[in-house]
Amino acid sequence: MKELLARFIESNRGVMLITLLLLIPMFWLLWSLTLDGTDAKYAAVETKTAVSRAVKAAVLAVDKEVLATGKIRIDETNARKNFDRLLRLNLALNSKNKPQDNSPLIEAPEILDYYVCQGPTLPYTYNSPIEGISYTFRDPGVLAVIKAKFKYNFMGRVQEIYAYSAAEVKRLKRGGKRDDTQKKGSSFS
């Protein structure tokens, strides 16, 4: 038996078979880890994009009656409705904010901070209760911070991400040019 095994290992076929038996599982493992990392990055980017779009939708809820007087004021009730609706739409959440089958999340996102800045004096620096997040509003705007969880497919590990974004109603300067001096929003985990 030992001689048969020794001859098998010494032959080219034996070396090739053993090499394949070692390499195929290693390639499969590396491939699955690569896909896992790509899926995790995609879920993080999708979450950040969803928060950014939801905040921009919230800013569009300008109070038309106040706008008729020449001032800009965000209707807070409609802004929150716009924010919730677009967050659900972009993260594939149902009406109770639970993830659907095509959602990158594994549970409902938690809205940690939602702030509508109306003034009274602008610019106004808002310091969120979430550590390390502050934003200077030059015009009326909205800031939101959410916490979301997604799962790695192969490793089974749950990743938690904090995504935030802020947007403002941009006023036109004289001459019709926009004042885009500040854009901010990011995510961290």
Name residues whose C-beta falls within 8 Å of residue 97's C-beta, 6 or more positions apart in sequence. Answer: 88, 108, 109
pLDDT digits (tens, 9 = 90+) for 131-159: 888 899 998 999 999 999 887 666 677 88
* Number of other residues whose CB lies within 10 A of the CB of residue 14: 14
Concatenating the DSSP letter of every residue in 153-180 gives TTT--EEEEEEEEEEEPPPBPTTS-B--
- 55: pLDDT strictly greater than 50: yes
- 33: pLDDT strictly greater than 80: no
Quick one: pLDDT band at residue 181, thresholds 50, 70, 90?
very low
Q: What pLDDT is recorded for position 18? A: 76
Q: What is the mean pLDDT of residues 13-41?
A: 76
Name residues whose C-beta falls within 8 Å of residue 126's C-beta, 6 or more positions apart in sequence. Answer: 115, 117, 134, 135, 136, 137, 143
Q: What pLDDT is recorded for position 142? A: 95
CA atoms of 177 and 16, how far apart (whole Å): 69
Q: Tokens 């702030």 sit at which residue? A: 115
Q: What pLDDT is recorded for position 174? A: 55
CA atoms of 36 and 49, how far apart (whole Å): 20
Q: What is the mean pLDDT of residues 124-136?
A: 88
Q: What pLDDT is recorded for position 32? A: 72
Considering only 22-36, 46-60, 135-149, which range has the smallest mean pLDDT? 22-36
* Number of other residues whose CB lies within 10 A of the CB of residue 97: 16
Instruction: Please give the residue that has the higher pLDDT: either 82 or 17.
Output: 82
Q: What pLDDT is recorded for position 63? A: 87
Q: What pLDDT is recorded for position 177? A: 57
Instruction: Please give the residue that has the higher pLDDT: either 78 or 173.
Output: 78
pTM reported for the whole predicted model: 0.73
pLDDT digits (tens, 9 = 90+) for 59-94: 999 988 888 888 888 999 999 999 999 999 999 999
